[in-house]
Amino acid sequence: MKRYRLALAGIAIILVILAIPRVLLVPRLAHELESEIGESLNASDVHVSIRAPLGWELLFGRVNGVDLTARDAVMDGLHISRMEFHGEQIRFDPRSLWREQEVVYTEASNVRGELLITEDALNELLWEEVDPDRFLRLQVSSEGVDLGGTISVWNMEWTITLRGDLEVHHGTALRYVLKNFEVQETRIPAILLEVLSENYEFIIDFEMFPYPVEIKDVLPQERQILVTFGGLS
């Protein structure tokens, strides 16, 4: 009976030791990631879920998967309403995590996610970067992202519409590109369109994202845009 109890006690100790990484290390890494995202992107309501069944994977710098959600983040001066990130077979530098309390990403087999950006957030960026007098306003629909408003030229008020779109720029940024220009429903020559393009172009750079990602698609919706991204190859 005594040997039986000792055997049970030994098994219990082994199970406790095996469970320590899962109970202690996984929550710690999740907390570090939440703190890092919250601080670097000034985000709120950050939640990280780590898939590491044993927990011992963390000691070798890898996890099966990470799911991240956040709200009210800021990237390159742009307010992000909602952010989602999903990664699989992620590797990181374990020494940086345990010694410096910093998560240093190295690679992943699959990374995907999306960003939701409202029309109001795009307008705030427009007014901050290219139109401080707020003469124009962005209007987002399923057909694209247009600019409309009234400007003063030669002491005359002109009602204009700048037909444009957000395009992927160098893989990690979005650029507003003019497609057509109208003044009181009259189309203007291409040379003037080029001049206006230089003055009303702005770029949103997502290279500051904590993980290296590439923009896959930009989907205009009613008063918001959905940006989908994946891991860099």
Tell me what the pLDDT averaged over the chain comes to: 77
pLDDT at site 199: 66
pLDDT tens figures, 156-171 = 676 777 778 888 888 8
pLDDT, greater one: 128 or 28? 128
Q: How far apart are CA 167 and CA 197, in angstroms?
A: 14
Measure CA of the first residue to CA of the last residue in the chain; give whole Å. 60
Residue 167 forms beta bridges with which residues?
A: 175
Residues 6+ apart with CB under 8 A from 139: 119, 145, 146, 147, 148
Residue 17 has pLDDT above 50, yes or no: no
- Average pLDDT for 62-71: 88
Q: Which of 25, 121, 135 is nearest to 72 (CA)?
A: 121
Residue 71 has pLDDT above 80, yes or no: yes
- How far from 57 is each of 52, 93, 99, 208, 220, CA to CA, in Å? 7, 12, 17, 27, 40
The H or E element containing residue 3 is helix 2-20
Q: How far apart are CA 119 and CA 125, in angstroms?
A: 10
Cβ burial, residue 100 (10 Å; 0-12/13-18/19+): exposed
Residue 55 has pLDDT above 80, yes or no: no
- Average pLDDT for 55-77: 83
pLDDT tens figures, 96-137 = 766 766 777 777 788 889 999 999 999 999 898 888 888 889
pLDDT at site 16: 43
How many percent of the chain have pLDDT more than 90? 18
